[in-house]
Structures are given as C-alpha cells and as structure tokens.
Amino acid sequence: MFLKNRHFSIVTCGLLLAVVAGCSGSDLPDSFKARFVYSDRTEGLMKEAQNGVEDLPGVKELLDERFGDPQHLLAWSQLPVDFGGLSGTVAETPAGDVVKDLKLNLSDSFTLEEGQTAVAQFVTGEAAPAVVIITGWDAEKSEAILASAMETAPAQGDLVVIGAGERLQTGRSLYMQHCSHCHGTSGDGNGPTAEYLYPRPRDYRHGVFKFTSTKPQSKVSRDDLTRVLRNGVAGTYMPSFVPMLNDEQLYDVVEYVRFLSMRGEFERKLAGELSADYSQDAVDARKADGESYKDIVSELKDFLAEDMADSLEFVSDDLATSWTEADTDDALITPNSPRVPDSPESRRLGRELYLSKAINCADCHGVAGNGNGPQTTIYEKNPVTQELYSEPGLHDVWDNLNQPRNLTYGIYRGGRRPIDLYRRIYAGIKGSRMPSFKNLKDDEIWHIVNYVLSIPFEPEPGHAPLPAGDVATASNN
Amino acid sequence: MATITPAIESHSDGHSHDHDHHEIGFVSKYIFSTDHKMIGIQFLVTTLVMLMAGGALALAVRWQLAFPWESMPVIGKLLFSGEGGQISPEFYTMLFTMHASVMIFLVIIPILAGAFGNFLIPLQIGADDMAFPVLNMLSYWFMWPAIVCFGASFFVGGATAGPAAGWTSYPLLSALVESAPGSGSAQTFWLLGLTFVGVSSMMGSVNYMTTIINMRAPGMTLFRMPLTIWSMFITAILQAFALPVLTAAGFMLLTDRILGTCFFIPSGIIVNNAPETVGGGQPLLWQHLFWFYSHPAVYIMLLPAMGMVSDMLACMSRKPVFGYKPMVYSMAAIAGLGFIVWGHHMFTSGMNPALGMTFMTSTMMIALPSAIKTFNWIGTIWGGNVRFNTVMLNCAGFVAMFIVGGLSGIFMAAVPVDIYFHDTYFIVAHFHYVLFGSTLFGVFAAITFWFPKMFGRTMNETVGKWHFVLTFVGFNGTFFPMHLLGIAGMPRRYANPYLHPYLEHLLPMNQFITFSAILMGFAQFLLLGNFLYSMFCGKKVGRNPWGANGLEWSAPSPPGHGNFDVPPVCYRGPYEYSSPEAKALGQDFILQTTPPPEMPESTPEPASA
Amino acid sequence: MKKLWALFFFFWPLVALIVCWIAPDRGWWFPSEAKSPLGSRIDDLFYLILVIVTVVFIGTQFALGYVLWKGATKEEGSEAYFSHGSHSLELIWTVVPAFVLVFIALYQMDVWAEFRVKSYYPEETLKDGPMMEVKARQFEWRIRYPEPGKDLQNQPQPGDLYTVNEMHVPTGKPVKFNLRTDDVQHAFFAPQLRVKQDAVAGLIIPVWFMIEEAGDYDLVCAELCGWGHYKMRATIVAEPEEKVAEYIEQLQADQNYDGVAADEDDE
C-alpha cells in the first residue's frame, strides 16, 4: 500500500488517503503513465538532502508520500482540496469472525445502483489501510455489503471513505487531456507545447496566479481559477474551456490545479528550508571553507531527524491557512464605493493619476499607454541569482520577460469589467512587476479605470475631446 | 505524315551496336546511373521505402483517433515519456502534415512519373534511352535533397514540432513563424523540400516530353502509342505548365517568412504576441496559386495509373482496349479541364461567390471524361479471356475504387453540398479512394506486370494475391466508413474529435477504421517481401511472359544497356490482342514489332482503327 | 477460383451498400436533420445526388462484376471477343452522363446563390446591419455585440459587449453576422445548420443563417488553425427574440459590473 506508518507521525493533524487509480466511474481514459518532475530547486540540493540519509527521508520522498505520482495520487487531508469521496465512520463493531457487511454512518446520502460497485478505504483503526469493494448498499439499514470478507475486522468509530479521491482523479484525467500539453504533467508550465508560447503557460508551483480577485497577499480563489477556465485569458494562448467542460468538470479541473499548485509550493518551501545550507552550491562553498563532506552529511542528518518535523508542520499549516483563506469573503477585493460614472472629467483625473509621480503608470505602460515606458528598456537583476537578465524589460517571478500591457489594444487579460480593472490596480498582478495600489482611494482607482477603458478609443490620449456620441454612451453606463 | 519505311537493315546492325558499350563500374551502373531503367528502379525502391514511412505516420494518426491521448506505441516512449506517452496536439498536426507530404511528394508523384515513367517511356516507344540521360539522373538525385529537407523538418524546429500547417500549408499558419510550433524552421525546410521535389519533377517532365516527341521508333505514330505513354505525355505537359506556379508560390512564401515580404500576410495581425504584421498581402492568393498547381497535380497522381491500367487490362483480358481514341481524348480533356477547376477546393474560402458557380460547372464537366474512361475499362474486360492473376485483380480493384472516388467527388462538386462536406472526413475518404484506391492499386498491378521486365523474374502469385486481398479489405474497411464520418460532420485534422458531443458516438467506428488501417499497413510488408524475394529468387522468365504486345516485350528481360538488341520497328497499335492477324500466327497476341505477313509496297500501315 | 474472384467484386459493393443502408439507424449519418431552411435544401440536394450516385454505383459495379464473371465462366480455349469499341455505345455513355451532370450543376445554382451571393440574401439581412461580429482566434470564438440600440462597427466601440464561445441568436428570422479572424485562417462550421464559411485574415465576410427551432447548436472550426484546432468548440444558442434581448441586457450589466451593485453576483 502507499501508507507507511513510520512517517505518519510527522503528519500531525492530517491523514493520508490513497487514491486508487482507475477505479472511479469516470469513462475518461485513465491509462496515462505520466510522472511528476521535481523542481530545479530540489534537484539542486545535495544528493543526501534529495534522497535522505540512512532511513531519514529526503525532500523527494517527503513530497511523494504526501502527493503520490500521477498514477497514484494521494489525498493528504491536511490540504484544503476537495478530493471527492464520501466519508463516514463504522457505526457498530461487526459481530462474528467473518465480516461481509458493515453498518456505516455516512456524512451524506449514498446510493449504489444495482450492479455497480464502490471502493471504500479504512483510514483509521486496526483495519486501515484496507480497501474493500462494496457491492450493495441497503439505504434503510445504512448497511454495506462487501464483495469479500475482511481480513481484519474494523471497530466502531473507524474512519472510512467511499470513492476516495474520485474528484481529483477526474480532474487529473481532464487535466491530462486539456491542460498538460502546455502546463505540464506536474503543473510546471513546461509541457511539450509550452516552449513555443508567449507568454509562457503558468507554472503553478509557485502557488502564484496572476489574475485574481483576492487581496494582494492572498492566494487565488476557486472562483478566479474557474473564471479563467471559462473566459480564457484574452491575448494569450489560454483559451476558454466552455462549453468543452461542464460546471462539474471545471470544478474538478480547478481542484486538480490547486492540488498541483500546493504540491509545487510544498516542494518549493521544503527545498527552500534546506537550500541555504545543503544545496549543491552551498555544500561546495562549505567544502571550500574547510568543512568535511562527512560533517555536512551528519549535520543534515541531525536536521532531518530533529527539525524536519517542525518545518513540515510549518509549511503544511501555512499552505492550509493561505489556500483556505483565499476562498473566504475576507480575501475578496470589494470596492467600498461604486464606480465613479465614466465622464471626460473622471478620465482626465484618471489620466493625471496615471502620469503622477506617486503612481506613475506611465513608467511602465508608457505615456500613451503603448506598454513601452522607460522601465521596459532597463536591464533588471534576477533577484535570486543577482545576475542581469539577458534582455531589457520587466521580469516576473517565473523569470519570464513581461511586457507591460499595451492599453491601446483594448485587450485585458484579467477581464474587461470595471471590477476586474479595479482589482488589477488594487492588488496588482501577482508574481509580476505590476504592484498593488491598495492605498489609493476608491475614487482614484475608479478614475484610473475609467481612463484606462477609454484609451483604445481616444485618438489623443487624455487630450482630444471625445466625440459627442461616445460621451453619451459613456454616461449611460 | 511521312512515309514510314521499316529499316530492314537495322536488324543486321545489331552486332556493331552492342560493340559500343563497355563494362561500366558499380557506381555508374547502380548509383549515378544514367540508364533510364536503373533510374526508374531507383525511383521505385526509394518511393516504396517512403511509402512505408508515410504509412507509419498514417498509423500514428489513426492511433490517436482511435485511442485519443493514450500512450502512443514507440513514439510515446521516445518523445513524450514525461506525459506518459501521450502525444501533444502539435505533434498530431505534424503527423498528418508529414503523412500527406511524404505520400504525395515522395511516393505517388515520383512512383508514377519517376519510376514507371522512366522505366517505360523509352522501352514502350522503342528508344534506347531518354533524350537527356544526365538530366534524368539529376531528376532522381534531386529527390534526395528533398528527402533530406523533409526529413530534417521533423526535428529542426524541435523534436515535437515538425511542420504542422497541413500539406496545403495555408498562410497565415505557414507564413507567420509564431503561429504554431511547427511554423518555425520546420516549415522553412518543408518549403525547401517542396522546391526540390518541384525541380526534380520539372527535369523529368522536360525529359519525358522531349523523349516522347522525338525518340519514337520508326512506325510508332502517336496513335500507336500505348495509353501508358499517352498518359505520361499528358502528365508531363500538365507538370510543365502547373509546376512553375507552385514553385513561384513556394518562393513567395519563403520570402514572406525569411525576408519579410508580405505576399500572403495582411496587416495588423498579432499572433502569439509577436509584433504586428506590416501586411498588404492576401492569404487567399496562396490558395489560388497552390491549387492552380495542386489540382492538376491530382491528375498527375492519377493519369499515369489510368494509362498503365488500360494497358494491363487489355493484356489480361486478351482484348483490345475499348475505344482507344476516346481514352486518349478523355485524358486530354481531363488535363485541359484540370486547369480550370482549382477553385473547387475553395468554395467556402470567401472568394468571389460567382467564381464558385464557374468552378462548379467545370468540375462537373471533368467528371465526364472520367466516366467515359470507366465505361471503357469495363468495356475492355467485357467478352475477354480474363486471366485472374495479381495484375488483373489489382486492375479490377483500381476500376472499382475509382468508381467510388469519382462518384463521391460529385457530392463535393456540388457547391451547396460541399459547404457541408468541405474539410470533413468525406473529403478524406474521397481523395484516398482516388489516390490510394485507384493510383496505388494501379501501381501494385504495374509493379507485378513490369517486374519481369525489370529483373527478368516474376513475382510470387500467391503472395501477390494475398497482398491484394488484405490491402483491398483493409483499404475499404479504412476509407469507406470515412464517408459516413464525413456525413456525420467530423472535421478533418482533429486531434480529438470526441470533445464534441455530436461526434462522441463515432469513437467505435474510428477504432474499427484504425484496426483496418493496421491490417492494410502490415499487408504492405507482403509486397515489400515479395518484391525483395522475387528480385533475387523469383522464377526466371523470358522476354514476353504475359504474351503482351508492347515494344518493351520484344526486348530482353531485363534489357541491357541500350534496351533493344535490334532497333525496333513498330507495325501496328499496341492492343491487337486476339486479332485475326494474331490468330493467323496461332496466338492471341501480336507484338508491335512483328512484321505483317506481307510488306505493303509504299503505303504506310494505317494505325489500326 | 476464377468465379470466386468475380464474386469478390460483386460482394464488396454489396457490403458497401448495406453499410450505407443501415448507417442512418446506427447514427453514422447527419448529426441531425438540417435545422435551417437553407440547410434543408442542402440536404435535399445531397439526397438527390445520393440517389443518382447510388444508381450509377450499382450499375457500374454490377457491370464490372458481370464482365469479370463472364470472363471467369468463359470456356477454356475459346476466343476473346475482338473489338476496338463501339461508336454508338461511346456516344450514349458520353451524352447521358453529360446531361445528368449539367442538370446537377444547374439545379443547385440558386441554393449557392442564396447562401453566398449578397443580392440573393433574404431581405431582412439586407435591411439590418450584421447582428454581431464573430471573431475566430487560436483557439476560441470571440463574439462582439454592438451596444443595444447601436449598429455594429468594424472597429470596436466603447459600449461593445463581448462574450466567448457562446453566440445567442433569435429564432425564426435570418441572422447575419460578420465573420473575421484575429490571426490565422479558421472556418465557421455549424454542422446542424449546414453552414460553413472560412474566416480569412484581412477579410470581413458576412454570413447568414436562420434557425426555426430554439435550442443549442454546435459551432466548431473546420480549417486547420494550429495545434488547438480541435478545441474550438462553441455553442450557438437559438432562442426567441425577447430572450436574446434579455441576454444582451444581462451581458451589458455583467460587463459593467463594478463589484458593488447589490443585485449582481460575482460568479
């Protein structure tokens, strides 16, 4: 099985559920034998940090035993992911030696058609991690009929999950069909098609998504991901997936994307804990300073034995908190006052703010909004390696060159509704050099929104009066 | 016409003739040979290898359609291990693009004109070689840069990003480097490959025309030429007129891509966030230029097979071709009309709708000569002493398949119906019936028929018949259901049609098609095996194993350098099977070189009516 | 053995005919009957040609089988029929098909004209401007409606409404729209409506159709446009005119949503 009790102790408030591949009722092809790749940061660690010292697991194993591989995804209940499945407990300890039926308390109603089967897995208790196949369900007695007798009898109160991870599996299948050729099997934005696309497909592993409706420090919400799947990202190769996917399927894909993001973020942070002292480069430097390799390894061993548990707890708690928070109302950016009605005056004010020293949109987007401000000609430093990038312009956290939006095209990647532009200004574009302007007053942001929306239609930005018809149109809004 | 007096003396010249030839080295005999027969065989072997390569690409396409996004055998492991062998969509677009390109440019066109044109033209008209032997050699060796360019296009843009704009390479997909993974250097190499194929064909075409016009044996009047020669002649003319247009268009596209000209690129287009195009061009121009060549090219890919099948049907039915002159005129009509029907590929393209009507009428008209030919083939078999051997079966297969391909064409010629069928699998079914069903069955027959002349041995009958049956069954299992897919509205070139609910139920049929295609694909190993085995171990035969009439059968098998041991003289048409003259000799055939019992005093022998 | 081969050539057309015969019942046929009047006429033409072609198919394949059978059953040693052809037969099988082909060609001109030639368009489509702009791009359909009460302009206007992959059209009246492409060539293909028109870079092509029956219809791409060609799936929603107006109104409200208005929900 996929469960190893030895490492269970590390996972303090969570439990692991194995997702058995290919057992769900989905008729999507399930036979991809794909694999997750490890991040460069992980691969850059010294071998022992990657693979473990003696019986202490390294980063790779710690990651794999929480997330699995594409064929055998694991559902780590610590994560705020809706893995799918129906959970419940054993209602009463079965009498007799041969356990062929079982009374269950389930969290939701459950039906099983004649001739169908369901897979249930025991999560706690003596019987765990046994997997049983349910061939019949008596709804009145809430009793499950099992395909074969159990080896170890479960006890009352044991946790059991029926159809564990079905949602994640469907999400995985859909992801492999629709998304993986750009975003990659691991969500590293490096599928076979990726290298030909500009901008590059998102690498989820930072846990950062650009176009969100959430506060500057918040993660992406499920609604945001769904909206991107629905509308696509105009001006990029991310197409709309409606009507290809229905609502249910969109939800499944979103859950899988969140799962991959959390996996990537978990790996990133875990490797980050070690990389200062145990990356290949750090080790080389330490050796140059006279430390012996043996000492480094034994220090690493101590770290893994004593401090790793805390690190894991810290990282996973952080993940759980931040991803949960993103879906709350607190995280959502809601303007305090409604949009300032669009008017030449408002646009003029917006234009002034756009050019002002304090906000200085023009520094990147250019005076005329062509996306060619002075910042686009400066060579930036890579914040990690401290080396200059090879091409001038702004770079995002994925090290990709990011052209500031040409506002004259009227293409808005994060959406064209006033609220979308408001949120873009309020929260910035996460991971990119577009900063948050959350300290601006609501009205100020709305003026800028009104101005930005008018840029494609004004022959002389901010100067030429609008044709009468257009002003009338605008005031209708 | 000048009086044709058979040069009796030439018989006695035979000996001195032979003396001119010396032993030639291996390289100049088998590799850089200027002998039309060797060049023909080189073409044949090369194209058969390419046939297998193109077939493999087709099977990969079929795999994806039957088992979408599932691990692809071999290729999946090699290139897409991280994705569990699941190919990427641009790889799929590359597969069908290269399947079509290889099959059309490296198999069908060269196997007909290159292999059989080369081998048969001098032999059938009684010449000792082509008019320009060195040019002929060059035409073969210009195939190789083409093969290298097409081959290189698989990987120059990245292992998974071969040319992916379809064999039609419509701009802007093919013109803008950014518009697809395969539109980068891969597309450039593809265009270069196309240019080399063009050069090679052009050399061949000039050579064939000159040879046929100038080098016919005494007595070989135009209307005594076998239909094979007529078809090669007409094909060569077609090529000479149509090909320059494609070559020019190809160069224009190349300069659009490399030098920044904008023949096919309108202004203000932004693809993949590349700089806006400067523009001024028109993508439809490419379609006009491309189809101005490529529609005649369809006949370039068919007419020679028609000619050869006419020859073989007459021989295997022991009967003259039914309506020799109508056959010739039909071919000429097809060639002529072939130049004014290109617009039927563009009914839905947005060109002037009035043109649509014109093209529809001309397209309907081109069905007429095709129909006449079909009736004449059936008429040829009618009442004959039919020999049911591999040659005959493949020829009958040719006729049967050509009927289907011709009839399905009528649906598409009707513009309103084409609105629906354009770019669906109906089209795929149609052109495979014409190009594979007709041309390739014709080629299979021709390989078997002229094999004794090429190597002095016959091919194995049993294996040949098995090959025919398996190919025929596999072929129809593959392509007949495609008509139905087309009627069901399944568009071409979809990596995964089942995303669309109205096509979901077609998966089982696509799987059936794929299994049939695998059967058909593997059946070709029988052909290759038979070919190789018989080349060295086949039954040895004499000059005229089939009892045929053509000049080539009076030459030794295989003919030596210079072809004929005596310069041949032609006394009659090529199809005088079972004629009274033949009966007088106690046989059912009479070679074109057999002198009539009594030499007429001074009047020329009229071509047999 | 000879007879077996002759029968082989009788046998396969028979299989082909049977497959075609059972095809409609098994779903190997049109996705549905044509849902637009012009589409029905296309179907009628298809069936007309199908009948002609079937007759010719049976005739020629039978003839081929027959002559092969005659060849197979010919007595050993008997002579082949020596003939170079028959002038009158040639004449018959030239004139008859020519007549049929010309008939087909002329018979369908008006369907084509109505689909593509502007002066034959239904009157309503000539009176009103195009209802919307359908812009294909790699790999989706972006649709732009003019602001209610305004005419569609070729250049985007401030009040324009945008959707993706969903096209709402009124039932019972001809709908005309402008077809364009943002990048490479695409083709607008609505299988149930039997409408297909390429979208060519640099051209604005008017297209019209009419749907009688409310419902959802498929819209796909039928011209290779790159690796995501197969992904370009969209829906044409045909509904009564009032509903379309409501939809447009809702679209306008959504597009102007500023996150505060109480009656809106933010997805």
The whole-angstrom distance between B145's CA and the closest CA on chain A is: 28
- Within 8 A of A34 by CB-CB distance, chain B residues are 82-84, 86
- Tell me whether residues A477 and C256 touch, CB distance under 8 A: yes
Query: Which residues of C touch chain A, with CB atoms under 8 Å apart?
Result: 138-140, 142, 147, 150, 156-159, 162, 164-166, 227-228, 231-235, 254-261, 266-267
The whole-angstrom distance between A15's CA and the closest CA on chain C is: 33
Q: Which helix (H) or strand (E) holds A273?
A: helix A247-278
> What does the pLDDT average to over C70-78?
86
> What does the pLDDT average to over C103-132?
88
**DSSP secondary structure string, C25-49?**
HHT-S-SSS-SSHHHHHHHHHHHHH
Structure confidence at residue A464 as a pLDDT band (50, 70, 90) = low
- Tell me whether residues A243 and C255 touch, CB distance under 8 A: no
Residue B3 pLDDT: 42
Determine contact: B361 vs chain C, CB below 8 A. Answer: yes
> What does the pLDDT average to over A304-316?
91
- The closest alpha carbon to C136, from C198, C207, C208, belongs to C198
Report yes or no: C119 and C128 within 8 Å, Cβ to Cβ.
no
Residue A459 pLDDT: 58
What is the average pLDDT value for chain C, to the nearest integer?
Answer: 92
Query: In what side-by-side order are the strands of the sheet with A68-69?
Result: A16-18, A72-76, A68-69
* Residue B499 to residue B494: CA distance in whole angstroms: 10
- Within 8 A of B587 by CB-CB distance, chain C residues are none
pLDDT tens digit sequence for B291-305:
999 999 999 999 999
* Residue C70 to residue C62: CA distance in whole angstroms: 12
**What range defines the domain where residue A107 resides?**
86-162
User: Which are the contacts of A362, defined by CB distance < 8 A and separation ≥ 6?
Assistant: A354, A355, A373
Residue of B nearest to A36 (CA): B82
Question: Does residue A398 sit within a domain?
Answer: yes
Residue B410 main-chain phi, psi, to 5 deg: -65, -35
Domain boundaries, chain B: 42-54+88-267+279-301, 303-541, 547-609
pLDDT tens digit sequence for A35-67:
899 999 999 999 999 999 888 999 999 999 888
pLDDT tens digit sequence for B315-337:
999 999 999 999 999 999 999 99
pLDDT tens digit sequence for B26-38:
888 888 899 999 9
Residue of C nearest to A340 (CA): C258
Residue B579 half-sphere exposure, CB side, CA atoms within 13 Å? 22
Report yes or no: B300 and B113 within 8 Å, Cβ to Cβ.
yes
Domain B303-541: CATH architecture, name and number where available: Up-down Bundle (1.20)
The whole-angstrom distance between C113's CA and the closest CA on chain A is: 33
- Tell me whether residues A176 and B158 touch, CB distance under 8 A: no
- CATH class of segment(s) B42-54+88-267+279-301: mainly alpha
Query: Which residues of A touch chain B, with CB atoms under 8 Å apart?
Result: 29, 31-35, 37, 70, 176-177, 180-181, 184-185, 191-193, 195-199, 235-237, 244, 403
- Tell me whether residues C80 and B384 touch, CB distance under 8 A: yes
Residue B147 pLDDT: 96
pLDDT tens digit sequence for C177-190:
999 999 999 999 99
- Tell me whether residues A196 and B496 touch, CB distance under 8 A: no
How many residues can be counted in chain C?
267
pLDDT tens digit sequence for A165-176:
888 889 998 999
How far is residue A334 from each of residues A419, A453, B239, measured CA to CA in Å? 8, 19, 69
**DSSP secondary structure string, B213-265?**
HH-PPTT--GGGS-HHHHHHHHHHHHHHHHHHHHHHHHHHHHHHHHT---SS-
Q: What is the ipTM of this complex?
A: 0.95
Backbone dihedral region for residue B66 (phi beyond 0: left; psi -120 to 50: alpha; all else: beta):
alpha
- Tell me whether residues C5 and B181 touch, CB distance under 8 A: no
Given A162, A183, A198, which residue is the final one in a domain? A162
Peptide bond into C139 cis (omega under 30): yes
Report yes or no: B132 and B121 within 8 Å, Cβ to Cβ.
no
Given A124, A141, A162, which residue is the final one in a domain? A162
* Residue B219 to residue B604: CA distance in whole angstroms: 9
- Tell me whether residues B266 and C189 touch, CB distance under 8 A: no
Structure confidence at residue B386 as a pLDDT band (50, 70, 90) = very high
pLDDT tens digit sequence for A228-287:
999 999 999 999 999 999 999 999 999 999 999 999 999 999 999 899 899 999 999 999
Beta bridge partners of C198: C187
- Within 8 A of C164 by CB-CB distance, chain A residues are 231-232, 240, 242
What is the average pLDDT value for chain A, to the nearest integer?
Answer: 84
**Residue B167 pLDDT exceeds 90:** yes
The whole-angstrom distance between B357's CA and the closest CA on chain C is: 7
Which among A32, A193, A196 is the nearest to B84, CB-wise?
A32
Q: Which two tokens stand for residue B343?
A: 């617009």
Which among C138, C165, C260 is the nearest to A338, CB-wise?
C260
Residue of A nearest to C150 (CA): A473
Classify domain C128-255 by CATH number: 2.60.40.420
**What are the residue ranges of helices labelled H in B382-424?**
390-413, 415-421
Chains with ≥3 CB–CB distances under 8 Å to C: A, B
Mutate to test the interface with B, among C20, C22, C60 (most CBs of B within 10 A): C60
Q: Which helix (H) or strand (E) holds A82?
A: none
Residue B539 main-chain phi, psi, to 5 deg: -70, 130
Among A374-388, B215-229, B363-377, B538-552, which is the least confidently predicted range?
A374-388
**Residue B15 pLDDT exceeds 80:** no
* Residue C246 to residue C237: CA distance in whole angstroms: 13
Q: Same CATH fold, B303-541 and B42-54+88-267+279-301?
A: yes
Determine contact: A26 vs chain C, CB below 8 A. Answer: no
The whole-angstrom distance between A49's CA and the closest CA on chain B is: 24
Determine contact: A246 vs chain C, CB below 8 A. Answer: no
Residue B21 pLDDT: 52
Given A162, A197, A218, which residue is the final one in a domain? A162
Query: In chain B, what are the helix, strand and coil shares in percent, each to the nearest 5?
Result: 65, 0, 35
The percent of residues in chain B predicted with pLDDT above 70, rounded, is 94
- Tell me whether residues A243 and C157 touch, CB distance under 8 A: no
**Residue B127 pLDDT exceeds 50:** yes
Higher pLDDT, A464 or A375: A375
- Within 8 A of C205 by CB-CB distance, chain B residues are 350
- Within 8 A of C186 by CB-CB distance, chain A residues are none
pLDDT tens digit sequence for B205-236:
999 999 999 999 999 999 999 999 999 999 99
The whole-angstrom distance between C209's CA and the closest CA on chain A is: 22
* Residue C77 to residue C210: CA distance in whole angstroms: 68
Which one-letter amino acid corresponds to residue A70?
P
Domain boundaries, chain C: 2-70+90-116, 128-255
**Residue A476 pLDDT exceeds 50:** no
**Residue C262 pLDDT exceeds 60:** no
- Within 8 A of A237 by CB-CB distance, chain B residues are 272
> What does the pLDDT average to over B506-530?
96
- Within 8 A of C69 by CB-CB distance, chain B residues are none
Residue of C nearest to A420 (CA): C258
- Within 8 A of B176 by CB-CB distance, chain A residues are none
pLDDT tens digit sequence for A111-137:
888 888 888 888 778 877 778 888 888
* Residue B197 to residue A198: CA distance in whole angstroms: 34
- The closest alpha carbon to B542, from B556, B559, B552, B531, belongs to B556
pLDDT tens digit sequence for B415-453:
999 999 999 999 999 999 999 999 999 999 999 999 999
* Residue B54 to residue B95: CA distance in whole angstroms: 9
Q: How many domains, chain A?
A: 2
The whole-angstrom distance between B402's CA and the closest CA on chain C is: 11
Residue C238 pLDDT: 96
* Residue C199 to residue C220: CA distance in whole angstroms: 12
The whole-angstrom distance between A238's CA and the closest CA on chain B is: 11
Among A90-94, B99-103, C234-238, which is the least confidently predicted range?
A90-94
> What does the pLDDT average to over B375-383?
94
- The closest alpha carbon to A457, from A389, A387, A410, belongs to A410
Burial label, B470 (beta-carbon count in 10 A; 0-12, 13-18, 19+):
middle
**Residue A95 pLDDT exceeds 70:** yes
What is the average pLDDT value for chain B, to the nearest integer?
Answer: 91
- The closest alpha carbon to A247, from A271, A266, A230, A264, belongs to A230
Question: Does residue A409 sit within a domain?
Answer: yes
Determine contact: B480 vs chain C, CB below 8 A. Answer: yes
